[in-house]
């Protein structure tokens, strides 16, 4: 069973269908791999081995009875610990929810189960998805499988690291300002942030409700397309969910071959971009030129305001969303409080970590009387300008090409300054503010052997085209077929 954990969904599905492999055997291989590498990677907050094997046995029984549910039947998939799974822990990597067990399934969970997937484990993240390194977890940091002295990115670092280390066949994360794409780049896997409203947020612990979006991590663009097809679609329980036709994303990969018109935002290639990353992205751009694509420079003039705008809107929404954690209804409750107000103060002081407190304070400030118009309202106006920049660019091009991150994975503990950490998401934040789809695909390695990510940004609800553009690059390069040397221990 060695090496099963690094196969694609497409390959494993074919082997399962041909009865060359059982779901139980595949799940056992993934569990064995997780046990072998978890002491070094620490991608999981928890996993229930017996439950996963029981799901696998049920999958094998369905297949034997001719009732296979589809292309995810028998495939072990890990979920970030902000996505609800009934009767499983739901902690958001926070002391505030350390003992909370979800009473219901998120919509994406329901849809994965309906597709036959085996849900395996609760994956570590920055607390309440606030961070870029997975060092803000209240439980433990996660290591990058390519270099365990470095971060896997964040906030969905556990989802990216587990996949890169072979501890899952695919995973789901959430992306509020780059939290799928940046860790995908750091860990050398594919990460897709769908258009806002394409995938239901019901059952996702809210950080910033107008920015959050659930999306897949996968080994290949094809696997990401399969996962997106399984989880996308309208949901009555999410008031921000859109009614749009969901195409066969996997079939569209081969059906759309370009050439495309691609834009290079000049604002994304300036100061602060690591030279090795810049060179790798330039080579990718040259590849698209070689395919016959028309590549032109475009401008997103309000890019310089993205970071400021994001940290006003995101913190304001976090302040509102996290107000529910008061020590009364559920979550951590402090002991020895003198009265109800003291209970609020103590419970929140003990339950939240430093970064979450920082963002709540910032958000409360920008929403406070006398500052709302000066900060929050103005930020919303600038957000509109940022979206208009992207839509104007799409009058000229089909998609945009940028680096995913300005730097490769950095050392654990290296960025103690919050502002330095926030700058890691400078190329991804605009996509969330504009509600657009974005994907990170591996496009090389630094001289030190660290993965580099290429970001492609698509038009609203044009995931099929975005995936096809990414697939055109991936099928001619072997980056996604490389795995960390950690594999030798599995």
3-state helix/strand/coil string of 345-392? HHHHHHHCCHHHHHHHHHHHHHHCCCCHHHHHHHHHHHHHHHHHHHHH
Quote the pLDDT of residue 416: 85
Cα(44)–Cα(142) distance, integer angstroms: 8
What does the DSSP assignment read for 189-230? SEEEEPPTTTB--TTBPPS-TTT-EEEEEESSHHHHHHHHHH
Cα(367)–Cα(206) distance, integer angstroms: 18
* C-alpha Rg value of the chain to the nearest Å: 21
Of the options 3.40.50.300, 1.10.3720.10, 3.40.190.10, 3.90.1300.10, the CATH number for the domain spanning 4-266+394-489: 3.90.1300.10
The CA distances from residue 121 to 30, 176, 237, 262, in Å, are 11, 22, 25, 39
Active site residues: 80, 155, 179
Quote the pLDDT of residue 489: 41
Q: For residues 358-384, b (16+ Cβ closer than 10 Å) or e, as one string?
A: ebbebbbebbeeeeeeebbeebeebbe
Query: Which pLDDT tens digits describe the chain residue by residue (490 residues)?
Result: 458 999 999 999 999 999 999 999 999 999 999 999 999 999 999 999 999 999 999 999 999 999 999 889 999 999 999 999 999 999 999 999 999 999 999 999 999 999 999 999 999 999 999 999 999 999 999 999 999 999 999 999 999 999 999 999 999 999 999 999 999 999 999 999 999 999 999 999 999 999 999 999 999 999 999 999 999 999 999 999 999 999 999 998 987 778 999 999 999 998 899 999 999 999 999 999 999 999 999 999 999 999 999 999 999 999 999 999 999 988 999 998 999 999 999 999 999 999 999 999 999 999 998 899 999 999 999 999 999 999 999 999 999 999 999 999 999 999 988 888 999 999 999 999 999 999 999 999 999 999 999 999 999 999 999 999 999 999 999 999 999 988 444 3
Fill in the DSSP letter of residue 442.
E
The CA distances from residue 277 to 154, 267, 404, 430, 482, in Å, are 19, 15, 9, 19, 18
Quote the pLDDT of residue 488: 40
Quote the pLDDT of residue 401: 98
CA 475-479-482 angle, 5° bins: 125
Domain boundaries, the chain: 4-266+394-489
Quote the pLDDT of residue 486: 81
């Amino acid at each position: 069973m060695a090496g099963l954990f690094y196969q694609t969904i497409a390959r494993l599905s074919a082997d399962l269908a041909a009865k060359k492999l059982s779901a139980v055997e595949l799940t056992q291989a993934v569990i064995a791999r997780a046990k072998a590498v978890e002491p070094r990677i620490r991608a999981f907050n928890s996993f229930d081995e017996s439950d996963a094997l029981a799901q696998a046995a049920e999958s094998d029984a369905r297949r034997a009875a001719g009732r296979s549910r589809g292309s995810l039947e028998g495939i072990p998939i890990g979920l970030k610990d902000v996505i609800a799974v009934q009767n499983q822990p739901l902690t958001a990597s926070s002391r505030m929810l350390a003992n909370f067990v979800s009473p219901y399934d998120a919509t994406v969970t329901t849809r994965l189960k309906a597709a036959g997937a085996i849900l395996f484990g609760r994956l570590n993240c920055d607390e309440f998805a606030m961070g870029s390194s997975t060092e803000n977890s209240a439980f433990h940091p996660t290591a990058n499988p390519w270099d365990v002295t470095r971060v896997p990115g964040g906030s969905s670092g556990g989802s990216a690291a587990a996949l890169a280390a072979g501890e899952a066949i695919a995973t789901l994360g959430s992306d509020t300002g780059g939290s799928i794409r940046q860790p995908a780049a750091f860990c050398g896997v594919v990460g897709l942030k769908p258009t806002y409203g394409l995938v239901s947020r019901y059952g996702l612990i809210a950080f910033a409700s107008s920015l959050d979006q659930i999306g897949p991590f996968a080994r290949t663009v094809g696997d990401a397309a399969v996962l997106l097809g399984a989880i996308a679609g309208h949901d009555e329980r999410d008031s921000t969910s859109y009614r749009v036709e969901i195409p066969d994303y996997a079939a569209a990969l081969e059906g759309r071959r370009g050439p495309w018109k691609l834009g290079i935002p000049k604002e994304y290639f300036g100061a602060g971009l690591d030279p090795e990353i810049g060179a790798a992205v330039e080579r990718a751009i040259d590849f698209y030129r070689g395919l016959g694509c028309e590549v032109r420079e475009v401008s997103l003039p309000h890019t310089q305001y993205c970071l400021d705008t994001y940290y006003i809107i995101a913190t304001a929404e976090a302040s509102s969303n996290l107000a529910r954690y008061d020590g009364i209804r559920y979550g951590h409750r402090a002991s020895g409080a003198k009265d109800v107000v003291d209970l609020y103060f103590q419970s929140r002081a003990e339950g939240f970590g430093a970064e979450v407190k920082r963002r709540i304070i910032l958000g409360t400030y920008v929403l406070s009387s006398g500052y709302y118009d000066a900060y929050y309202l103005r930020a919303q106006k600038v957000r509109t300008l940022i979206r208009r920049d992207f839509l104007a660019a799409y009058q000229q091009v089909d998609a945009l090409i940028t680096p995913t991150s300005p730097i490769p994975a950095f050392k654990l503990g290296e960025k103690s300054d919050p502002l330095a950490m926030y700058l890691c998401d400078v190329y991804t934040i605009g996509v969330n503010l504009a509600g657009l789809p974005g994907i990170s695909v591996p496009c090389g390695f630094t001289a030190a052997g660290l993965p580099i990510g290429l970001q492609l940004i698509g038009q609203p609800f044009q995931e099929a085209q975005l995936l096809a553009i990414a697939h055109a690059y991936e099928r001619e390069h072997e980056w996604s077929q490389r795995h960390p040397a950690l594999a030798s221990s599995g």
